[in-house]
Structure 1
């Protein structure tokens, strides 16, 4: 770990070196002779504002982690930027007056000084912050809060201009004006500084002696330069230092840090002992409860509020109004527990857009889980080629799907959506079964359905009620609402529309009691015959014919062997097990991998993986193979949910179905359903072939097991 003094030293050296380097480049570009400027090197050193660089460095050092370093550097630039920009403009104008003095050597020096000011400004605003962040990153968390090093920020959002500095600038301006107005007329004809220095004087000794002999040569411009030099030295070494010390004392006077003895006369001890926030918990509570600007609270202070139960950990995003910062603070809160300290080091947190997650996808976020993303295909679906993104940790899966796609390459896959309708099934209760039956009969009337449809459809531009299915059990009435939802998966739309329809129904049946908006008659995320029979979401069928040559050359088996395995495994075996919608080889593998890649709800693979795979010989002689996959309940969408995240949106974009379809709402989600069903078909084909040929164990040993190291 680097200490703060080393960080300041290294960054200061970089500031000087990079400024000198860039000035050299500019001088070469302008074709200026260096021999004319070697006696103006002191201008270069004095005009580098290392105090501002030190302030920015100290602000960055008051950080606990990478994101806080970035934020503190950005805040430091936002505070120092306007001041430095103004100072640069003023200094350029003030020193620029010297270029009009008529004294040749002084004009050259002022040209060099102006150039130094501008280059130093560019370096400070661009390269210096980057190098500062890189240095702290390489030092692996150099943090004043963690190392008992001075953590006092030298910046304030309301920092005012130093009046002493302003007076120095005024004195400089007056001096240079006098040079321009008086000395130009009096000495212009007599002053001649055509000093010729042999370019071979490379030796540092010769350069220094030549410079000193010239400096003590009594000339009016030398006197002016010396006065300006002394003024700048006093400004940088005395007034700025006193101003910083006063600023430190002012800050320390408001510090109430337990265990720290404040002695304003001993600044060295103070700046190496202040390691935590300068606000008490009560002050922090006052700021947070009054909804003031919480940016003035450090991460440490907010953590204290969380630990003292003043801020719930799940509300950090709302309090700090910075999703990434909230995640980092939450990690520090939980990281105080010994069992989590090492775990969090392996849990990624950077390079993720947490703003999209907050309020949409997840709560109490502490990072994210990277999942390998493979690409299978290409597969031809309805005469269009697609490469399929699949997020999975199961080796052999993507390779198997790709092999199936290769076997389907000649004829491709034909796929159709035969039904579209998301469902929500509330449960209501009546005083008696007879009253429940009356309500059931009322719902089955077409005119009454239209009344409920008007209420339902008014809740969304895309949700359209298409069917009601009531079912009675004693005095309980279950009502299954079925509606199209455009390109969204549609659960939120169904819930909103169903709630409004039930309120209208309750006005007609005052004795009706709403027990639950979801009565498991939907049925969502659970195996259910109603989804297998009635369908839910998209009902899709995909089919393909594979020529015998592809079966033997690509799949390495025979048509009869694949048919035999499908009958014995997918039809008889699944029936013996009593599965619901499980008459397939591994549809859930493909569904889940594409769901994760495209931002679908992974839990809905339970219903979405319902699939029956049928295989039979095809053609006059039965040499070719026919295969179909029927999936009655694919619950997918291309808007909302996890589809808003960048990576998942990119996968949808890869398929050409990101977002809502502009001309035909619902078409993008229908296309996603067709793609998933067709990819399932490719996976079924490949696995059945591998099982029939006895290749499953061999392939998994090759692709699904890591080498022990």
Structure 2
């Protein structure tokens, strides 16, 4: 819903002319209240990036929207190393989109009874939930109780969508059905056992959305010539930074900068930006092999993104996905995992070489 932006500008006494005209031709695809316009974030492209995945095999270009100088150049360098090394091997596991309602009971005995009812009636629950959308499939439910509170974690396959809207509507239907059948009160359909848009060990361990793995072996010669460093130096920086440094700071991100690539990719392709939080969690690992080649891998436990719905409908984001050239969500996720590995490799190499500050001085201002 657009409001009178000229009135807003006059009332605030501010010049917002660029905001007003940006994306004025795309209002039908915009989901934003009190709309006055849009902000523009520069879009760069990295690649080609060679992916050897479960769902795609080939060379892909990666659109990245960012205001951070040197980021696209860094990912681009990583893509070059990956392609020269035969490509990044990528694997996925679809965990599903989750919603976490919380129910209130009067005693532990009632809690046990309620949890048993949920487990016994899981097939009926699935049938009720799946009535809400032809694109949604119920996967499973898990429960935990604390005193009088029963936390339920529902898992859904939401097809090509990231699916939080679908999951929310389905969870309301679930809560209504439970109340009708058991008289148990649902306090809220989102009780943080999902857990959505917050760092969480539950999502780290159990996963959410997609789990993604990427790995590659890089020849010592390529590391020397392209990355201007050595396998041993990269390993030493990785150990100090991603492992010990992350542990010392209590971080859930045992990586160099997953969030940088995820945020830039999410903006470019129309994803919900708050899910960068889950995406930032994960582990980069590396090992120097006997011949001084470098094994390098990334693990991302909670990637939430979609091919349809929400911001994916915007024309500029649609064009950015067309640059990639994929049409299934699994394919899009595999490209993201490969791009993240490219970014991790390049940054750790830059730190090992001692060139990070120099590069940002040149490109980041």
Shorter-chain TM-score range: over 0.9
Residues 537-578 of structure 1: CA distance to partner in whole angstroms, max 9, x if unpaired?
011111111111110000000001111111111011101111
Unaligned runs of 5+ in 2: none
Q: Which residue of 1 aligns with 2:99?
A: 424
SS of 2:256 mapped into structure 1: coil
2: distance between equivalents of 1:688 and 1:639?
A: 34
Among 323, 329, 351, the residue aligned to 1:669: 329
> Could you say which residue in structure 2 is the equivalent of 1:246?
none
1:605 corresponds to 2:276? yes
Contact 1:526/1:607 (<8 A) preserved? yes
> Hey, what does 1:362 align to over in structure 2?
32
Say how many residue pairs are matched. Answer: 360
Q: Which gives a bigger RCO, structure 1 or 2 (Cα 8 Å, sep 6+)?
A: 2
The answer to whether structure 1 residue 630 and structure 2 residue 290 are counterparts is: no
Distance 2:151 2:144 in 1: 5
Aligned to 2:46: 376
> Pick from 66, 76, 80: which aligns with 1:392?
66
The match for 1:554 among 217, 223, 226 is 226
Equivalent residue for 1:685? Answer: 345
Report the alpha carbon displacement of residue 676 of structure 1 after superposing the two structures with TM: 0.9
Corresponding residue for 1:503?
176
Partner of 1:177: none
Among residues 304, 307, 312, which one is paired with 1:643 in the alignment? 312
Specify the SS of the correspondent of 1:366: coil
SS in 1 for 2:21: coil
Residues 472, 380 of structure 1: CA spacing in aligned structure 2 closer, same or farther, 3 A cutoff?
A: same
SS of equivalent to 1:370: coil
SS at match of 2:83: coil
Structure 2 partner of 1:111:
none
2:207 is matched with which residue? Answer: 535
TM-score by length of 1: 0.50
Q: In the alignment, which residue of structure 2 is the partner of 1:588?
A: 259
1:338 shift after superposition: 5.1
CA contact (8 A) 2:175 2:189 kept: no
2:80 aligned residue? 406
2: CA distance, partners of 1:598 / 1:537: 17
Q: How do residues 305-384 of structure 1 correspond to structure 2 at under 5 angstroms?
A: 317=1, 326-327=2-3, 330-337=4-11, 339-340=13-14, 343-358=15-30, 361-382=31-52, 383-384=57-58
Q: Secondary structure at the residue paired with 1:653?
A: helix
Contact 1:591 1:609 in 2 (8 A): yes
CA distance in 2, matches of 1:470, 1:351: 44
Decide whether the 8 Å contact of 2:60 with 2:325 is kept in 1.
no
TM norm structure 2: 0.95
Task: Give 1:350 deviation, angstroms.
Answer: 4.9
**In structure 1, what is the Cα distance between the partners aligned to 2:270 and 2:12?**
34
Relative to 1, partners in 2 of residues 1:338 and 1:523: Cα closer, same or farther, differing over 3 Å? closer
In 1, the alpha carbon distance for the partners of 2:8 and 2:20 equals 15
Tell me which residue corresponds to 1:471.
144
Contact 1:551-1:559 within 8 A present in 2 as well: yes
Structure 2 CA distance for aligned equivalents of residues 333 and 484 of structure 1: 44
Secondary structure of the residue aligned to 1:416 is strand
Find the aligned partners of 1:388 and 1:467 in 2 and give their Cα distance: 34
Q: Is the 8 A contact 1:607 1:634 kept in 2?
A: yes
- Counterpart CA distance in 1 for 2:83 and 2:336 is 17
1:569 counterpart residue number: 241
What residue number does 1:130 align with? none
Matches within 5 A, 1:213-232: none
Q: Is the 8 A contact 1:433 1:476 kept in 2?
A: no
Partners in 1 of 2:298 and 2:36 — Cα distance?
40
- Structure 1 segments (4+ residues) deviating >6 Å: none
Match of 2:122 among 425, 442, 449: 449
Which residue matches 1:521? Answer: 193
Q: Output one character per residue of 1:293-324: Cα deviation in whole Å (capped at 9) or x when no partner.
A: xxxxxxxxxxxxxxxxxxxxxxxx5xxxxxxx
Shift of 1:686: 0.3
* Aligned mates of 2:287, 2:171 — CA distance in 1: 43
Query: What's the secondary structure of 1:337's corresponding residue?
Result: helix
Cα distance in 2, alignment partners of residues 584 and 338 from structure 1:
43
> Which residue is equivalent to 2:217?
545
Higher share in strand: 2
What is the CA distance between 1:594 and its match in structure 2? 0.3
Aligned mates of 2:320, 2:251 — CA distance in 1: 32
Between the aligned partners of 2:248 and 2:242, the Cα distance in structure 1 is 10
What is the 5 A alignment of 1:102-501? Answer: 317=1, 326-327=2-3, 330-337=4-11, 339-340=13-14, 343-358=15-30, 361-382=31-52, 383-410=57-84, 411-445=86-120, 448-501=121-174
Structure 1 pair 554–422 and aligned structure 2 pair: CA distance change class (3 A): same
Q: Where does structure 1 lack aligned partners over 5 or more consecutive residues?
A: 1-316, 318-325, 659-667
- Separation in 2, partners of 1:333, 1:432: 56
More helix by share: 1
